[in-house]
């Protein structure tokens, strides 16, 4: 299917056709070889679609995917997010980074040994654009995923 970049993520999701195969509860085990509670994958996808259709919707968690390098963690997120996938590495508080976040839908973050809970819990970002004295409020339409090659113990 050819991607029309003039579409918003909401329009793109609305135009997708379902092939009738249920995957909501199994996509993490099938494509990421995850073990454990299958409701995590469902909750993540429901939250991601919810944010696309209702920007600013509360998403009080972040999906964390751990696995060996080269197994396809980032590639899976690229496929899921399509043209609305982005990876964010660098200072979290930079204006450029916030602007980039708001262009995406599925955002991959590196696992870092710092507290990111304040950043994850936000539904709206307030920014002042260059050469403007006004502060604008941008409701989040994106969700975040942490990927790491190392065990996730102690991150959050």
**Using only C-alpha atoms, what is the Rg of the chain?**
16
Residue 92 to residue 89: CA distance in whole angstroms: 8
**Exposed / middle / buried, residue 16 (Cβ in 10 Å: 0-12, 13-18, 19+):** exposed
pLDDT tens digits in sequence order for the chain, 156 residues long: 444 445 789 999 999 999 999 999 999 888 887 877 788 999 999 999 999 999 999 998 889 888 888 888 899 999 999 999 998 766 656 677 777 888 899 999 877 655 566 777 889 988 887 888 898 899 999 999 988 887 655 444
Strand, helix or coil for residue 65: strand
Under 8 Å CB-to-CB from 46, ≥6 apart: which residues? 24
Predicted model pTM: 0.81
User: What is the CATH code of the structural domain delimited by 24-148?
Assistant: 3.40.50
Q: Where are the domains of the chain?
A: 24-148
Under 8 Å CB-to-CB from 3, ≥6 apart: which residues? 12, 82, 83
């Amino acid at each position: 299917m050819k991607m029309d970049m003039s579409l918003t993520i909401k329009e793109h999701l609305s135009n997708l056709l379902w092939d009738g195969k249920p995957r909501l509860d199994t996509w993490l085990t099938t494509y990421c070889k995850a073990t454990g509670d299958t409701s995590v994958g469902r909750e993540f996808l429901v939250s991601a679609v919810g944010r696309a259709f209702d920007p600013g919707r509360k998403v009080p968690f972040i999906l964390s995917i751990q696995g060996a390098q080269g197994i396809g963690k980032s590639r899976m997120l690229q496929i899921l997010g399509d043209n609305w996938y982005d990876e964010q590495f660098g200072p979290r508080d930079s204006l450029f980074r916030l602007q980039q976040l708001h262009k995406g839908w599925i955002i991959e973050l590196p696992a870092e040994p710092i507290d990111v809970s304040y950043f994850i819990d936000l539904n709206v970002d307030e920014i002042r654009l260059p050469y403007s004295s006004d502060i604008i409020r941008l409701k989040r339409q994106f969700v975040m995923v942490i990927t790491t090659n190392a065990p996730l113990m102690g991150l959050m």
